[in-house]
Amino acid sequence: MKQAKVLNEGELKRLLAVVAQRKHAARDRAAVMLSFYAGMRVGEIAAVTIGDVFDAEGRVRDQIRLRAEITKGGHARVVFPNERLRHELQLYADGLPPSRRAPLSPLLLTQKRTAFSANTLCQLFAAFYVAAGIEGASSHSGRRWFITRLAHRAVSPKVIMTLAGHKSLATTQRYIEVNDELIRAAVAVL
């Protein structure tokens, strides 16, 4: 089975430009940013609530706790949003009407104002990639990008494994994209 494409910087910019033109741009950008900058799976993004992401004052939490029942492996884990993700999520929160700020409300709603399923969010991501003209990408591309970027910045494999919610380092290693630029940089340090 072929793995989802890991986007380069230009493709990610193009994806975000396409998302910015959509009717539900703020919602769609939040979904993309959670995938790319938190490494969250679409099922996790679809199931996360307002209260999981924002505190009672509407500020982004320092830690987004993913409950065991919404993770693939059935093990709770913590997402640590970096400054860019925190900023993006805060912009999204600031645009929500008061009626959408209930802690148990889904973070993202469909056009019909219902919670996304993992499948419908997966289809939405597919539409983003088609519109951006990016072939080979899927709803898993953001997660692979997140893990690959951490690996390319020499983050400890154990830390990456923990952030990804994997129980095996071998699983984490399958996500990491190796390219000619990375190989050249590796041998340049000799």
So what's the pLDDT on residue 1?
Answer: 59
The tens digit of pLDDT for each residue in 25-64 reads: 999 999 999 999 999 999 999 999 999 999 999 999 999 9
Exposure letters 126-142 (e unless 16+ CB within 10 A, then b): eebbeebebeebbbbbb
**Residue 135: CATH number of its domain:** 1.10.443.10
User: pTM of the entire structure?
Assistant: 0.91
Q: Let me know if residue 122 belongs to a domain.
A: yes
Residue 84 phi/psi, 5-degree rounding, is -65, -45
Count of domains forming the chain:
1
Residue 189 phi/psi, 5-degree rounding, is -80, -10
So what's the pLDDT on residue 6?
Answer: 92
Q: Let me know if residue 86 belongs to a domain.
A: yes
- As a whole number, mean pLDDT of residues 173-182 equals 78
Helix/strand/coil (H/E/C) assignment for every residue in 160-175: HHHHHCCCCHHHHHHH
Q: Which two tokens stand for residue 50?
A: 């307002």
